[in-house]
Structure 1
Amino acid sequence: MTNPYGLRTEHRVEPLGLDADRPRLSWKLRADRRGAAQSAYRLTAAARPADLDDPRRLLWDTGRRAADDFELAWDGPALQSATRYHWRVEVWDERGEGLSAGQSWFETGLLHPSDWSAVWIARDPAGLPLVDPPTDDDEPSRPALQLRRAFELDRVPVRGRLYATARGVYEPRLNGQRVGDLELSPGWTEYHHRIQYQTYDVTDLLRDGRNVLGAVVADGWWSGYLGFDPRRPAQHYGDHPSFLAQLVVDFSDGSRQVVATDADWTERPGAVRSADLLMGEHVDARLAVPDWDAPHGSDAGFTRVAVDDTDPGPLVAEPDQPIRVIRDIAPVALHPRPTGRTIVDFGQNLVGRVRLTLHGASAGQRITVRHAEVLDDGELYLDNLRRADATDTYVAAGNETEVFEPRFTIHGFRYAEIDNHPGELEIVARVLHNDTPFDGMFECSDPMVNQLQSNIAWGQRGNFVAVPTDCPQRDERLGWLADAQIFTPTASRNADVSAFLARWLRDVIDGQDADGAFRDVAPAVWIAREAAPAWGDAGVIIPWHLWRTYGDRVALERSFPSMVAWVDRIRRHNPDLRWRHRTGNSYGDWLQVDAVTPRDVLSTAYFARSAEIVADAAEVLGHHDIAIEYRGLHGAIRAAFIDSYVGDNGTVEGGTQTAYLLALAFGLLPSNLVRAAVDQLAADIEKRDIRLTTGFLGVALLCPVLTEHGRADLAYALLHQEEFPSWGYSIRHGATTIWERWDGWTEHGGFQSPAMNSFNHYSLGSVGDWLYGRVAGIDQTTTSIGYRELLLRPVPGGRLSWARAQQETVRGTVACGWSIKNERITVTATVPPGSTAILEIPTSDPASVTEGGQPAAERPGVRTVQPSAAGATVALTSGRYTFSAAYQGA
């Protein structure tokens, strides 16, 4: 049986509150036999699950369509606001038999501006309520908003939906309970263009009679400290937070009641005295207002709010997975320090917050929590945080048991210092990030390499929070484009980041200026200059990657005009096709070691690459004239690169590892000089005693290029290197995430400059794509989209005796792995239904290849077995396979 699974709407599982006009419905397939494929499908939709079985009550029916596509955009009747649609996919296998089905649903949000009656509300400065002030002299003066609105229901409703957002970050409350499990909503977007709202199912929280809807709202990205600007960013967005919400309650008779933010809401500061993403959160539990959000609570001490804005503004439904608490981590060690402090080691550099349970704290007792990534002589190393205070404070109310867990801040840390804690320490770290499904896996026989993969994945978790940030701990946390560009291939191996990156690309596009220049960061705050080479090129490279990996045509179409504008801008200002002018703050190969790659070599290489991608994207989208134009432009840039930077003996100007890598990876060398350039690259690595010099940009290309050109031995030697600079060096010194720089800490120099020294920064972890793609072997052909045509090319080497990887693709599960024992290599492969694969088996004797203990060519699903440069090349249909062959090593 061929069964559909992993049903998605707009790349999400059962999204609540969707505003796409024609949402894409997709599914994957699994089967228990070889050669399985989909020959046809049928999609139906209805208002209720039971109606899917009644043809008379269907809202949409595609009929049986002969196709092996795994995605279809809604082409039924126009979608209605605030409506749930149940849908089913039925599939037929390659024999036209074996009907099977999968079922899911999606629910629309408020699709039209006229659906909104809510207005933005904020604290009225003139009516700031008087509360008993604490006695502390250093009490913060920016308390979070604490909003409430009481309302009556004359019966129990059948349905309740809360649509809410904030200029700031918020936590909704209803009848004394928190609504949902989302964190730091609505996230960070280009607020001038888009503010995301969230949809919550609150049906079970509503009651007959008196109800109270509430919210706590803090500054967040809207009006808190942002980036490395020393001021609160009123010049970016706003100088105070505000809230907008609309509760829609439906009854069994079809009637409806709406409770929206308006001038009748009230506000009173509570226990959260300040909350900032960079600085931390201050909670004074003595100022908590009991039952303020409960039905029996009172309005006493609350004052009317101010209407901040009557125009809801550019509201959009949240299109990707929200931020959540994903897991809890217990301490691995407690280190008591002098003066009543305890340093807690969680054993993992992470992003989130701590939860403290206090027993017997006296009223007014102040407990502080400071955070750091590393220790220096047993104490927290804080210099690299720069202005970020990263300190949370709790003033106890004096109850027998109290729990302190900040709600409106996050920190990057492995260590937390707890000061003035009463009694035995009860603490846990809570990990937060966008809830992108981590469905990839790589592992091998070398514990150090496994630790590297773990470090890469944890760096991704910690920096995929609202936007793909550069680092999560210091006063920066910006969405740098080049960092995301080089790491996206690795990120999409570890997790399904399709919706996350497609949403962020809107911010990239919104930051583009009238001349076609992207910005270095998105959202484009603080740094308003034109983007540097490789930074701005992310606006071209990432949409193309989303197309190749996920088949995301929508993201490609949306990005295409800005992709063209970016390349046209470079051409306009550099008519000789060497990108030397209008390069922004050209960073070069950022943080390279003991080498300097010429800026114009790097920039011209990226100019060529972006022109080539625009040509390819134009062809995909049916713009054939544009494709011809940019194919010609790419050829001309390539010729200019060769003429300007490539010597007759295969040298590339600058002679750095990155210079050769760019020329080789981007196809910028005459074919007769490729081997000479590879030899030059290899010679540079070897003369340095197997050391790399690559920075952010070069490191992503290093191992793949070496492997592609027959020097996997050097790629593995670099992977296993444990002396400075290397991945292994940081691991040998305790790294649990990827460091920002190779020399973040060294035995010979100690800590690098605190001006820029993060210990959680995913860029140098872009080697992860190679671990999946060549060490384990999972790849796709150059013409394949969404892993339809797999290219499985495991390359054993180094000190590994086995390696394997698995990842979820848009078509299903793909896996590949190998092991070597007794001069035999075993290669396993999983090809999802509807896909095909070319598997290269590294063997010294192609005739020795068996599958399931029998000659491979005689096995079901094996189309051909042919000798090749790799040893043996096997063509496969879908299914699971185990091959064995003679192996004598490199």
Structure 2
Amino acid sequence: MNKLCLPFSLLLFAATANAQSSVTNLRTENLVNPLGLDVTVPRFSWQLKNNKRNIAQTAYEIKVTGKKESAWNSGKINSDSSVHVAYKGSALHSGEKYTWQVRVWDNSGKPSAWSQPASFQMALLQPSDWRASWIEPGYTEDSVLRPSPLLRKEFSTTKKIAKATAYITAHGMYEAYVNGNRVGDAHFTPGWTSYKTRLQYQTYDITNLLRQGKNALGVILGNGWYRGFIGFRGQKNFYGKDIALLLQVNITYTDGTDETLVSDGSWKSATGEITYSEIYNGETIDARKQKTGWMQAGYDDAGWSNVKQASFGKDNLLATYNEMITPHEVIKPVKMITTPKGETVLDFGQNLVGWVRVKANGKAGDSIVLNHAEVLDKAGNFYTENLRAAKATDTYILKGGGTETFAPHFTWQGFRYIKITGYPGTIHPENFEAVVFHSNMAPTGTFTTSNPLINQLQHNIQWGQKGNFLDVPTDCPQRDERLGWTGDAQAFFRTASFNRGVNNFFTKWLKDLEADQMEGRVPSVIPNVLGNGGNSAGWADVATIIPWELYIAYGDKRTLAAQYSSMKNYVESVRRTTKDNLWNTGFHYGDWLFYRPADDNDGRSAVTDKYLIAQCFYANSLQLLINAATVLGKTDDAASYTDLLQEVKTAFLKEYMTPSGRLVSGTQTAYVLALQFDMLPENLRKQAADRLVENIKSYNNHLTTGFLGTPYLCHVLTRFGHSDVAYTLLLQQSYPSWLYPVTKGATTIWERWDGIKPDGSFQTPSMNSYNHYAYGAIGDWMYRKMVGLDTYADGPGYKHIKVQPHIGGDFKNASATLETNYGTAAAGWKIEGNTVTMDVEVPANTVATIYLPAGNASSVTESGKPLSAIKDIQDLGSEEGYIKIQTGSGKYHFSMQAEKQQH
């Protein structure tokens, strides 16, 4: 892999950069002022701001300060690096807060002002830093309903507090309170990991919640993933039967002394109003059982039980790396419906993930029941059969005496509609609001076009991602599943990385993947609660696909290095099962949920041979391993796996291709994968692409691909000169197509192409999610090919930006923006009469190669001037119907005569 060499001939133009650059958006480990890092060599990132063109960093200086002294001053470092710059100072200390600043020199040769300070606080870096004990409720538990435990502890502080930091985790889920105030805004903590080897704890600054004098700590626990029902086999207690808390508060007083408060045998336990709580089934809250004031100091807990101390280990504890699940939009109902069955239903207008907050005024014992559903049936009645065993029911029992507000604690649902039963008095929609939850990843991408159906498709893609990115990339948020399916995740990763900042989210999940590998084999869900043997092609390949794509999307070389052993172990686990370099054994899901027409009498849609698919993905994983080895300097591995890759491709040709280039499976997916992964000799690729197009046209311009073929379909068509066919597929409105669900009113991506059939009936309810992001992978083509906003492998993470639009489909315009680690990158095109205009924004400290859809450079203007007159732009000649240029940072407006619509 060639290192990016900034054509930093562009730096010669720097004399125009008179305005001084400034430094903004400082991040540590991709986070803004994070609390609780256990990364002992954190990485720093920042952005340059300057309205001039061709601004590049030539040097930086970082200074890091602890509470008493300088921890690191880098001095002036001649480098253009401004993303993931590693700390190189003295050892960082547990619990200590550090501030850092950076200044840069740009290509004008002058230093910027020092940035505003940013900060990070270290976590507990050694197991010995934990002085707290694991504690469990001391009462005899109702082993059937398992109501949520309440745990409390009072303490006094006699001195003024300078800083107080809480470290908390649990077996199960927890909510923590200090003096009745909720600690943090994260929910469903501590999140879901492979608990036996990796249990995250959270770090909170609670300085402002404590007071001098008497204080109270209160914690509510829930079953969560740890011991609740998980998976579709009815299993519970997967990680253990216990429910437990580990909590430590480190206090520093203004006089410099320290004190530590811990979970130990002095805590008290009881049960309260949450009488039942399960992720799939919902929650029951009986307000008559509230213990009023239990979170406050002075509460009489004489009737509470002493807790039990437990001997659970702490070696599996780690600080939280990814963004936690937090509440986001609050959505009001758009309609109240009385169904044909006479049931009262509220429609929130959007299939969402979260819960409903309810206000009610009634008498003690009144019971309000909320059921959740994604769709109404053909007759307009409430439909929950596709939830399978998940009850998705919240029950609120009033205590009476005034207006009461209810919301769950340790459950969430996927729904658009709720059915209300037992509500006291008249139902007013304004007393119900849906609260949307997802991991708190920053939104990064926008995409819009002249076509409202495509804009709705993008909306559905984004909402499908939000609803399924709850600490792990789940397959669906509504039924008795909600698991981290690996095939879905790898198919959607590049789309996901455009829409939101998923670097830390997937870095954390990949560590669980490695923890759950079995002699290299990769399970189909991570964390692995199904216990299957793993290594289903296209699912297990997540071990190589996401680390490499994450490197390309974010330039995150450290994660690539950290996952390299996992990547290699996976490839070797496949290699051990091959014979004559063919992967033709084991269980495979194949092209999951591909389209098969009922009237297929000539077998055109025959199932794609699963071993053909496996061979393609095996070759792809080898290629990605070679890529990673090259980037990481593992030259011996790169060489040996290059030889193996050639043998694997040769074996593919012998087994699955005729001498004329026809594949033994004549399906769209077979040709897509063979072309995407370069399985065919170059001289046979065009005819294979033509056969793919012929197949599509034989289905009246419809796709037939499933989970594995669909993500690559339009990419392959565009690569081999058939963008017109890709646009035809994108704009197809009849089933099967991306827009068919949109025409049926979908607000998220469906699991099946025909989740609701043309006649209004449903597909098989045992597998029919209406919020399932995998087919949303078309977004990647829309962003990187249709608009053309992409990054090169020689400058990953948009250090070297590629802009190559493919105009077509009778669109009048299409545009996208992306918040990269360097700043905003943007591209868009518009057709007005015979004129095409393109707007491109390139962030500071990056370069862009731009493809202008024009026949010759003389017909192109930039900001009204001939292209040849713009000294900031380097002409790289023409290439396949484009004028190719190179630029540094800045905003550019190009205008040219339209040659032809399809590129």
Indicate the TM-score class for this superposition, using the shorter chain for normalisation.
Answer: over 0.9
**Which of 460, 467, 481 is the matching residue for 2:465?**
460
Is residue 2:296 matched to residue 1:294? yes
> In structure 1, what is the equivalent of residue 132 of structure 2?
118
- Whole-Å Cα distance in 2 between the matches of residues 252 and 644 of structure 1? 75
Post-superposition shift, 1:569? 1.8
Q: Counterpart in 2 of 1:527?
A: 531
Q: Which runs of 5+ in 2 are unaligned?
A: 1-19, 597-604
SS, match of residue 155 in structure 2: strand
Aligned to 2:31: 12
1:717-866 matches, cutoff 5 A = 717-748=728-759, 750-864=761-875, 866=877
Matched residue, 1:566:
570
Q: Supply the distance in 1 between the matched residues of 2:192 and 2:687 (Cα, whole angstroms).
A: 48
| Cα distance in 2 for residues equivalent to 1:197 and 1:755 | 36
- Report the TM-score, using the length of structure 1 for normalisation: 0.95
Q: Residues of 2 paired with 1:417 and 1:5: CA distance?
A: 48
Question: Which among 476, 479, 483 is matched to residue 474 of structure 1?
Answer: 479
Task: Tell whether the 8 Å contact from 2:472 to 2:509 is kept in structure 1 after alignment.
Answer: yes
Confirm or deny: 8 A CA contact 1:158 1:203 kept in the other structure.
Answer: yes
* CA–CA distance in structure 1, aligned partners of residues 363 and 133 of structure 2: 42
Structure 2 CA distance for aligned equivalents of residues 763 and 293 of structure 1: 43
SS for the counterpart of 2:576 is helix
Match of 1:186 among 187, 190, 212: 190
SS at match of 1:293: coil
Q: Which residue of 1 aligns with 2:592?
A: 590
| Residue number in structure 2 paired with 1:365 | 366
**Mean Cα deviation higher: 564-573 or 264-273:** 564-573
In the alignment, the residues of structure 2 paired with residue 636 and residue 79 of structure 1 have an alpha-carbon distance, to the nearest angstrom, of: 48
CA distance in 1, matches of 2:254, 2:364: 49
Aligned twin of 2:545: 541
**2:417 and 2:315 mapped to 1: Cα distance?**
41
What one-letter code is carried by the residue in structure 2 that aligns with 1:110?
Answer: L
Q: Distance in 1 between matches of 2:358 and 2:342?
A: 16
Aligned position for 2:103 = 90
Residue 429 to residue 880, structure 1, CA distance change in 2 (3 Å): same
Confirm whether residue 448 of structure 1 aligns to residue 459 of structure 2. no
Query: Shift of the alpha carbon at 1:73?
Result: 1.3
| Aligned counterpart, 2:664 | 653
Q: 2:73 is aligned with what amino acid?
A: D
- 2:283 aligns with 281
**2: distance between equivalents of 1:177 and 1:773?**
46
- What is aligned with 1:134? none
Q: Say if 2:153 is the partner of 1:106.
A: no
2:179 touches 2:210 (CA, 8 Å); kept in 1? yes
Aligned-residue sequence identity (percent) comes to 40
Asked if the contact 1:857/1:865 (under 8 Å) is kept, the reply is no
1:58 aligns with 2:70: yes
Residue identity opposite 1:27 in structure 2: W
What secondary structure, in the 3-state scheme, does the structure 2 residue paired with 1:75 have? coil
Give the whole-Å Cα distance in 2 for the aligned partners of 1:430 and 1:870.
49
Q: Which amino acid aligns with 2:26?
A: L
Letter in 1 for 2:782: L
Summarize deviations over 1:409-458 as a string: whole Å, max 9, x none.
Answer: 00000111121212343111000010010111000000000000010010
Give the whole-Å Cα distance in 2 for the aligned partners of 1:820 and 1:378: 43
Question: How far off is 1:567 after superposition?
Answer: 1.1
Residue 254 of structure 2: aligned partner: 252
User: Are positions 1:509 and 2:514 aligned together?
Assistant: yes
In structure 2, the residue matched to 1:877 is 888
In structure 1, the residue matched to 2:579 is 575
Quick one: distance in 2 between partners of 1:444 and 1:29? 30
Q: 1:209 Cα deviation (Å)?
A: 1.6
Alpha carbons of structure 1 residues 728 and 641: separation in structure 2 relative to 1, 3 Å: same
Give the secondary-structure state (helix, strand or coil) at the position aligned to 2:264.
coil
Residue 597 of structure 1: how far off its partner (Å): 0.8
Map 1:296-375; keep pairs closer than 5 Å: 296-309=298-311, 311-337=313-339, 341-358=343-360, 360-375=361-376
Give 2:7's aligned residue: none
The code of the aligned residue for 2:126 comes to H
Number of aligned residue pairs: 867
Q: Is the 8 A contact 1:862 1:876 kept in 2?
A: yes
Q: Normalising by structure 2, what TM-score? A: 0.94
Which residue matches 1:237?
Answer: 239
Q: Structure 2 CA distance, aligned partners of 1:5 and 1:656?
A: 51
**Partner residue in 2 for 1:75:** 88
**For the Cα contact (< 8 Å) 2:165–2:205, is it kept in 1?**
yes
Cα distance, 1:322 vs. partner? 0.5
AA matched with 2:132: A
The answer for the alignment partner of 1:133 in structure 2 is none
What's 2:17 paired with?
none
Is it true that 1:398 corresponds to 2:400 in the alignment?
yes
Alignment match, 1:132: none
| Contact 1:454/1:737 (<8 A) preserved | yes
1:420 to 401, 419, 422: 422
Instruction: Find the aligned partners of 2:503 and 2:153 in 1 and give their Cα distance.
Output: 38
Q: Aligned residue for 1:389? A: 391
Distance between the aligned counterparts of 2:608 and 2:145, measured in 1? 49
Q: Secondary structure at the match of 1:745?
A: coil
Provide closer, same or farther for how the CA distance between residues 292 and 339 of structure 1 changes in structure 2, counting only shifts above 3 A. farther
CA deviations on 1:317-360 (whole Å, 9 max, x unpaired) are 100111000111111111135898521111111100010111x2
Q: In 2, distance between residues paired with 1:784 and 1:66?
A: 18
- Given the superposition, is the C-alpha separation of residues 340 and 264 from structure 1 closer, same or farther in structure 2, using an over 3 Å criterion? farther
- In the TM superposition, what is the alpha-carbon distance from 1:140 to its structure 2 partner? 7.2
* Residue-by-residue CA offset, 1:651-675 (whole Å, 9 max, x unaligned): 2220111111111111111111111
The residue aligned with 1:634 is: 645
Cα contact 2:703–2:736 (8 A) shared by 1:
yes
CA distance in 2, matches of 1:557, 1:155: 47
Partner in structure 1 of residue 66 of structure 2: 47
Q: 1:223 aligns with which of 222, 227, 231?
A: 227
- Residue 124 of structure 1: CA displacement? 2.3
Please state how far the C-alpha of 1:865 moved relative to its aligned partner.
5.5
Letter in 2 for 1:398: G
Q: 750-759 or 565-574, which moves further after superposition?
A: 565-574
> How far 1:5 moved relative to its partner?
2.4
CA distance in 2, matches of 1:298, 1:33: 66
CA contact (8 A) 1:197 1:318 kept: yes
User: Residues of 1 paired with 2:538 and 2:182: CA distance?
Assistant: 43
CA distance in 2 between partners of 1:141 and 1:588 (Å): 40
Unaligned runs of 5+ in 1: 52-56, 130-138
Q: Distance in 2 between matches of 1:867 and 1:614?
A: 33
Q: Post-superposition shift, 1:889?
A: 2.9
Structure-to-structure mapping, 1:163-178, within 5 angstroms: 163-178=167-182
User: What's the CA shift string for 1:599-626, capped at 9, x where partnerless?
Assistant: 1111000111111111111111111111
Q: Distance in 2 between matches of 1:47 and 1:822?
A: 61
- Partner Cα separation in structure 2 for residue 189 and residue 737 of structure 1: 26
Q: Is the 8 A contact 1:446 1:799 kept in 2?
A: no
Aligned to 1:214: 218
Contact 2:553 2:791 in 1 (8 A): no
